[in-house]
Amino acid sequence: MTAQPTDPTDPPLDPYRLPRLVLPQRYGLSIAPDLERALFQGSVNIAVTVRQSTAVIVLNALDLTISSITAADDRGRTLAGVCTLDQKAERCHLTFPEPLAPGDWTLSLDFHGGMNDQLRGLYRSTYTDDTGTVRHLAVTQFEATDARRAFPCWDEPDLKARFALTLIIDPALTALSNTAPLSEEIQEGRKIVRFAETITMSTYLLAFVVGQLEGSEPVYVGRTPIRLWAVPKKTHLMQVGRDIAAASLRFFEDYYGMPYPGDKLDLIAIPDFSHGAMENLGAVTFRERALLIDEAAASQGELEDLANVVSHENAHMWFGDLVTMAWWNGIWLNEAFATFMEALAVQEWKPEWQPLRMFLTSRASALSVDGLNSSRPVEYPVRDPKDAAGMFDVLTYHKGAVVLRMLEQFIGETLFRDGIRDYLKTHAYANAETEDLWASIGTVAGLPVSALMNGWIFLAGYPLLTVRRDGPSHLLLTQQRFRYLTPEPAASGQAPQAESLWQVPVHLQVRAGGRERSHKFVLAEATMRLAIPEDFESLIVNEGGHGFYRVRYEPDLFDRLQARLPDQLSSTDRFTLINDAWALCQAGLAPIASYLDLTTRFRDERDRHVWGLILESFGLLNQLIEATDRSSFSRLVQDRVQPAVSDLGWNPRKGEDGLTGQLRGDLIEALGTLGEDRTAQARAKSLYNGLPGNGGGIDPNLLPALVSIVAYTGEAPEYERFVHRFKQAATPQEERRYLFSLAAFRPKPLIARTLDSTLNGDVRTQDAPALLGALLGNVEAREMTWTFIKRHWETMERLFPPVGLRRMCGAVVNLATPELERDVRTFFTERRLDFGGKLAQQYLERLRIVVQWRERESEALRRYLRPFSMQSTTMRDSH
Ligand code: BES
Ligand code: ZN
């Protein structure tokens, strides 16, 4: 079949891209939600430009009933049309009795639909107010492709238009949308709220919320009023959010060199919300715990999370909202940028939190996904809505953000910023592609940025740099793709794939004669030979940890580096060292014993992020250890963790910072759970039991550790108590803490109760899949949980928001036995699980890595643990 793009009745070439014969300019949209019956009615007048004569107009609509269709031109001619729906393509075809001539037309449609419970499109959120009455809100969540569930529209990010929204609501309720209200009037017992017209923007950014809402006092940044909103009785939880909202908006106006593009900014906390937050221009929506917090009761980590989310969404007001990617393959331009910028803004606001260290943790998580054979390039083809949803992953957010940071650190912060300013100015109110970004930065910096960056964006994976001595006065540096698993041999007849090469910005530090010198250069070839001074002592490749790659030192060089621990390496270099060592171990390039030996050198470590890596590696070992080795393993954990806990003590010291408090909490938690330290467990329990009813009077950084330990060691009475605390929680953070603590209990009947709570309405669907994911991480609960998930799969698919289900399935990596792995594979295959992109393959490959590694290393691990067995605790210093 030859598709004639000029014939409007032909199917378009791509079933998921709308034909461009007719383009929307402005939507006059009116919606009347019925909160009690979970229904809505609407009408829309769309000013369109017909570019080519056509009798059929194709646009998106899903689960809507459409009626009274007309098209009117500017000379008073009106045509009545009919509508056919294509459910699979999520479209409607409007057919008119004769072609619409090129020019301006107004398309008018009436429609109605139902508010769903899947937290997407136009949906209903539910809460119980302080009088015990059940109340509802109407909420929208349109990204990526769900505006079409609320009104017929051209639902693609490059089909930007202006929106003039009218909401018809119960007069007792408040309505918020992207812009300020122009007018409010009461007609026939209904309140009619008309909002100002928006800027030219994508459909996925349109938003409104209707319900009983209470707002904070406004704070002004320039002329922009910022307000926080929530359901009643929560305004006392708005102070921190308000501060970071204002600080970050101010920072971004300055950094981007451009005023905020909206007329006001509302940040709205929603009781049921599928994601963390959503950057609707001027009406940013959040789950409650991402916006509302009690500063005095919150832990350092909770405060940081909140600041990051608020700052991230504000960064999008320019990156994403003003300038938008042309299609979902380029979503990294939104998400990687917002992730990058969020850290910069928080750095300006609270430098003492060391927010730039986020790039280290982002890098670690991106390197672990991108080391999979089933990884994908950051920019990756997107066909259908599922693929679009699948793009919002670690690679988009974290690999994207850290390769931007790598570029920024390589060319310099000022040039980078000026490049961004140029990009935003050039593409404001329009769309852009990756190449546009490189063009702006490249022009400003006078550098061939595409050549440097394209490998990081358009190739899957990243290099492993191997460094060895080459004669007495040289080093040899080589690059090769890092892989955890040897890839399956290519199918016969296929030529083996040429190995990828990257342009690797290298920061090399050479220590010689007691002095350190740093060098910056690009490794573009497979190998490179470097001269070293005569009095060479040691070297660090990837100094500062900005490079998106791993480093493998030959044994002698590794020993020289290790010998500098702990004090002669920066915390960043320590982080990189331990992170790479652990990855090399998982990839079979280093024995487990060498990694575990390395951890002995970190007993004096006091950096929370470095410890975070070590504790995470212990957590993974705990998933795959044989039951008979578990107690020896616990003693190994004690051996590594106890010295730091003894030194830090259980009580905060005068004047100490939040980071130390958080570290103390993390270490004590590990000691009491993974470490099974009876003394720590007893102390945690007695401290917890001594707390007053409201849980106050204790360092908020210690409380999460106590709760974890009490849950981990807990029985029915503790469980009852924590369920109660969850239900009566005074803050969203407390609610979350007690909810997820339920996943740590080990008695089977309690696990069964937690499982039931995920489907019986006790736990919101925004949290239930994450709770199941946490249960998969509990060694005592994982099999029961997996059985439960399999049994209730259809129900979960119907009830849970897709993003939750997808993330829950990521937790199958915990099912780290050969039998369970087989079962998981069968389930994924039989159900043809597809989370978009390559996510399903990635989950399975991660599991494969862990199981294969267990088979390979379990003997060595057992041998290593022998001195830690009960009988021979005195021998443990032999390591
Ligand atoms: N745009 C996203 C939210 C989103 C993602 C909506 C995918 C629909 C589909 C938003 O900016 C975001 O990234 N939110 C994060 C929090 C952020 C701090 C990383 C989230 O919701 O997890
Ligand atoms: Zn985002």
Residues annotated in a binding site: 312, 316, 335
Residues 425, 511 within the same domain: no
pTM of the model: 0.96
Read off the pLDDT of residues 499-547 as tens digits, 9 standing for 90 and up. Answer: 789 999 999 999 999 999 999 999 999 999 999 999 999 999 999 999 9
Tell me, in angstroms, the distance from the centre of ligand 1 to residue 143's CA: 9
Atom of ligand 1 nearest to the CA of 312: 18
Q: Rounded to the nearest whole angstrom, what is the distance from the C-alpha of residue 501 to the centroid of ligand 2? A: 30
Residue whose CA is closest, atom 1 of ligand 1? 278
Is 350 inside a domain boundary? Answer: yes
Distance 313 CA to ligand 1 centre (A): 8
HSE (CB half, 13 Å, CA atoms) of 708? 20
Q: Are residues 443 and 559 in the same domain?
A: no
Query: Residue 554 corresponds to which tokens in the numbers above?
Result: 């030959």
Considering every ligand atom shown, identify the ligand nearest to the alpha carbon of residue 204 and give its number.
Answer: 1
Q: Are 403 and 545 within one domain?
A: no
- For residue 66, the model assigns a pLDDT of 97
**What is residue 436's three-state secondary structure?**
helix
Note whether residue 648 is domain-resident.
no
With a CB cutoff of 8 Å and minimum separation 6, the contacts of 296 are 700
User: How many whole angstroms from 66 Cα to the centroid of ligand 2?
Assistant: 32
Nearest ligand by distance to the CA of 391:
1
Nearest CA, atom 22, ligand 1:
276
Please give the Cα distance from 382 to 391 (Å, whole number).
Answer: 8
pLDDT given for residue 875 in this prediction: 44
| Secondary structure letter of residue 707 according to DSSP | H
In CATH, what number is assigned to the domain containing residue 351?
1.10.390.10
- Are 454 and 466 part of one and the same domain? no
Q: Is 522 exposed, middle or buried (0-12, 13-18, 19+ CB in 10 A)?
A: middle
Let me know whether 442 and 480 are in one domain: no
Which ligand gives the minimal distance to the CA of 248?
Answer: 1
Among 573, 590, 607, give the residue marking a domain's end: 590
Residue 579: count other Cβ atoms within 10 Å of its Cβ: 24
Do 75 and 114 belong together in one domain? yes
Pocket test for ligand 1, best of 275, 319, 399 (most atoms within 8 A of CB): 275
Judgement on whether residues 28 and 140 belong to the same structural domain of the protein: yes
Asked if the structure places residue 783 within a domain, the reply is no
Residues 109 and 179 in one domain: yes
Distance, CA of 85 to chain centre: 34
The CA 579 to ligand 2 mean position distance, Å, reads 26
Q: Which residue owns the Cα nearest ligand 1 atom 13?
A: 335
Domain assignment present for residue 122? The answer is: yes
Q: How many CB atoms lie within 10 A of CB 559?
A: 11
Give the pLDDT score at 697: 81
Q: Which residues of the chain have pLDDT under 70?
A: 1-13, 490-498, 694-695, 871-879
Residue with tokens 């000026």: 418
Paired residues of 226 in beta bridges: 219, 265
Residues 6+ apart with CB under 8 A from 357: 572, 609
Same domain assignment for residues 335 and 419:
yes
At 2 the pLDDT is: 37
Which residue owns the Cα nearest ligand 1 atom 8? Answer: 143
Binding-site positions for Zn(2+):
312, 316, 335
The residues that bridge with 432 in the sheet, in sequence order, are: 325
Half-sphere exposure at residue 613, Cβ-oriented, CA atoms within 13 angstroms: 30
The answer to whether residue 467 is domain-embedded is yes
Q: Which residues line ligand 1 (CB under 6 A)?
A: 143-144, 275-279, 308-309, 312-313, 316, 335, 338, 392
Length of the chain: 879
Q: Which amino acid is at 196?
A: A
Q: Report CA(120)–ligand 1 centroid distance (Å).
A: 13
Domain boundary among 590, 614, 639: 590
Q: Tell me if residue 217 is catalytic.
A: no
Please indicate, yes or no, if residue 336 is contained in any of the structural domains.
yes
Alpha carbon distance 371, 439 (integer Å): 29
Name the residue at shortest CA distance from atom 7 of ligand 1: 392
Q: Which residue's CA is minimally distant from atom 2 of ligand 1?
A: 278
**Which atom of ligand 1 is nearest the CA belonging to 309?**
18
Q: How far apart are CA 654 and CA 677, in angstroms?
A: 27
User: CA–CA separation, 509 vs 505, rounded Å?
Assistant: 13
Atom number, ligand 1, closest to the C-alpha of residue 143? 8
pLDDT digits (tens, 9 = 90+) for 198-210: 999 999 999 999 9
Q: Which residues contact 803 (CB under 8 A, 6 or more apart)?
A: 274, 275, 389, 392
Ligand 1 atom with the shortest distance to the CA of 274: 21
444 and 514 in a single domain? The answer is no
Instruction: Please state the domain count of the chain.
Output: 3
Which numbered atom of ligand 1 lies nearest the CA of 335?
A: 13
For residue 443, report the distance from its CA to the centre of ligand 1, in Å: 31
428 and 402 in a common domain: yes
Domain end, chosen from 571, 590, 609, is at: 590
Best of 335, 387, 395 to mutate for ligand 1, by most ligand atoms within 8 A of CB?
A: 335
Which residues constitute the domain of residue 510? 462-487+500-590
20 found inside a domain: yes
Cis before 144? omega within 30: yes
Q: For residue 172, give the CATH number of its domain.
A: 2.60.40.1730
Of the residues 278, 308, 342, which should be mutated to test ligand 1's pocket, given the most ligand atoms within 8 Å of the CB? 278
98 and 192 co-located in one domain: yes
Please, which residues have CB within 8 angstroms of residue 364's CB and are 6 or more apart in sequence? 575, 579, 613
Mutate to test the pocket of ligand 1, among 316, 386, 392 (most ligand atoms within 8 A of CB): 392
Q: Of 90, 253, 302, 313, which is the active-site residue?
A: 313
- Residue 104, Cα to own-chain centre: how many angstroms? 42
**CA nearest ligand 1 atom 16, residue:** 276
In a domain, 524, yes or no: yes
> How far is it, in rounded angstroms, from Cα 834 to Cα 813?
16
At 555, which CATH number?
2.60.40.1910
